Structure 1
Amino acid sequence: YPLKATEAGKNLLHWPEMVYQFHREGFSLPKEATLLATAETYPNQAFRYGENAWGIQFHGELTRVMMHRWVVRGAHRFELPGAQPGRDHLGGRLIWDMHLKRWLGEFLGLIFGKPAVG
């Protein structure tokens, strides 16, 4: 699903253009939270609250095994309004996976700091 970084998000790191979602729930931002990324159906995709609290709606942690499990066991969910067909989830992963993995590495580096070399 398409993702758009806000100006605050762009100032932190490079965000992927497409992300994986497998849900039908959204949430409201906490007061004083900073929205970092948004999307059409679920506008609150990523936020920061203060210095140490983060919220992410999409699945940056997704592995190939997880995706196959969700696509097979959750096939009934592809009939819900706005859902992409399973083949689109699998095909999209082939295209966008490296971008999402890069984002996840940068995001974890931002939160936990870059590991020391040597």
Structure 2
Amino acid sequence: MTTRLAKFAIGQVVRHRVYPFRGVIFDVDPEFTNTEEYWLSIPANIRPHKEQPFYHLLAENDESAYVAYVSEQNLVPDETGEPVGHPQASLMFDSFREGHYTLRSRISH
């Protein structure tokens, strides 16, 4: 079994490589841990492999804010330097500086 480090960090703002949304990472799984139903809901032609980190995001697009579960291969760093407008961001994170959020201390592992 090979140990692999996650490419992105908790508090980092990222965007989806294909779909028009961005978000802040609040948790990471070393590999896919969602349901098989969720896995099969991803269109087969863009379904990522399960053996990679998957990130939990407070995500937003032009229409709404939501929680997303995204594979590492489908994320890229967000270069805007702007905070996300997700209403739960202020509940999980203390501050935003230089494109990165800091977790509130009571939430840290």
Larger Rg: 1
Q: Shared fold (TM-score greater than 0.5)?
A: no
Higher relative contact order by CA 8 Å / sep ≥ 6: 1 or 2? 2
- How high is the TM-score relative to the length of structure 1? 0.32
- How high is the TM-score relative to the length of structure 2? 0.33
Higher strand residue share: 2
Higher helix residue share: 1
